Amino acid sequence: MDKRFQSRLTLAAVALALTALVASQLGQRVTATTNAVSAVRPAASAQLGALPASDIIIFVDTERLVNDTLPNFLAGDAELFARAKAKLDRFQKETGVDPRSFDSLAIGMRLGATSSGDPRFVAIGHGDFVASQLIDTGFAAAQKKENIGRVEEQYEGKTIYILTPAAGRADNCSRNGKTESCRMAVAALDSNTIALGDLESVRATLSPGAARVDQSLVDLATRNSQAFAGFAGNLPQGAARHFGIRNGRADKLAASVRQMYGSVSTVGTTAESTLALRTETAEQAREIADGLNGLKFISKLGFGGHSGGSKEKVEAFSNLIKALSINVQNDEVEIKLNVTQADIAPLMRRY
């Protein structure tokens, strides 16, 4: 991914984005979840449907994740459980924002939507917080840590807060006058919902006349009602370059994928992830499956030259590859991975 886009994403993350992203990956609460599965699809569909037109969409039921999924998944590993809680506690201490206050997160991304080729994105976060207070708290932390400023803009009856770089720092967003396509912004959609992303995407989220995400993508991202996370995407020509694989054959195979969708769910200490790739032709689907099966074969040979903790991580990664289930039907490749807590614990301890 382009370094300029990464730097702008980091700028926003200091203020608010990591709040939502951390909540989508780690969490710990001891309260019980009731009727979570039955409620997730309508909530996900509504929140994803509020996104502007996007190539890729992601939904995470963070309330279910923190209340049910991770406590159960990490129940047998006190060390990992403590690490997860410590990371969240540290984030809250540094920013003043509790990532566990988010109950859902929807992300939309447009690939190659700017003149520089950078992706555009917006994240809609809903939760048990007062949106205006969350924005003020996140900005205060960003201002203290990075000396980031903000300016206000009134748009469609809402206030958009546009983040500005610290005094003395180069403003890369002003190149070619394309400020809207790369400035990071945040706005309160209602009392307990925020939208964060580049300025144009936040404006599109607020605009009642803007095009919305394709309903077919929403249906694909929410088709597994048992999942705490789902995603879907239509990949335009040239989209593969954004993933930075930098391998000739892998880049070629990635470029043949026109649509993807999948989900992540857990039952106790077992997690299941599913990824479906739709290509232009059945032959391309078979080539992708052959490539993945080749990786499985290599992983069975083992990896040498590692010792200590690194050996444990390499073996864990190799075992994950060997556990892949790969099936092809016409122009679609389905990739499934079922893992237990013990399978991925060595990788999780790295972070």
Tokens 């080539």 correspond to 287
* Partners of residue 257 on adjacent β-strands: 279
Give the residue-averaged pLDDT of 337-345. Answer: 76
What does the alpha-carbon distance between residue 289 and residue 183 come to, in Å, rounded to a whole number? 40
What does the alpha-carbon distance between residue 310 and residue 325 come to, in Å, rounded to a whole number? 26
> Residue by residue, what is the 3-state secondary structure of 87-104?
HHHHHHHHHCCCHHHEEE
pLDDT > 60? residue 287: yes
Contact 235, 276 (CB under 8 A): no
Q: Could you tell me the residue ranges of all domains in the chain?
A: 3-214, 235-348
Question: Predicted confidence band at 34 (pLDDT cuts at 50, 70, 90)?
Answer: very low
Confidence (pTM): 0.79
* More confident position, 119 or 306: 119
Mean pLDDT of the chain, nearest integer: 78
Tokens (6 digits) for 146: 């990075």
Question: Is 235-348 CATH 1.10.3280?
Answer: no
pLDDT > 90? residue 213: yes
What does the alpha-carbon distance between residue 186 and residue 32 come to, in Å, rounded to a whole number? 31
Give the residue-averaged pLDDT of 229-234. Answer: 95
DSSP string of 25-94, one letter each residue: H-----S---SHHHHHHHHHHHHHHTSBS-SEEEEE-HHHIIIIIHHHHTTT-HHHHHHHHHHHHHHHHH
Question: Predicted confidence band at 59 (pLDDT cuts at 50, 70, 90)?
Answer: very high
Q: Which pLDDT does position 186 carry in this prediction?
A: 95
* Torsional sign, CA 242, 178, 162, 188: negative
Contact 320, 295 (CB under 8 A): no
pLDDT > 70? residue 351: no
At 175-211, the pLDDT tens digits run: 544 455 568 999 999 999 999 999 999 999 999 999 9
Comparing 4-8, 108-112, 303-307, the range with the smallest average pLDDT is 4-8
Q: Which pLDDT does position 269 carry in this prediction?
A: 77
What does the alpha-carbon distance between residue 234 and residue 207 come to, in Å, rounded to a whole number? 23
At 126-159, the pLDDT tens digits run: 999 999 999 999 888 888 887 888 999 999 999 9
Neighbour count for residue 162 (Cβ, 10 Å): 19
Contact 148, 239 (CB under 8 A): no
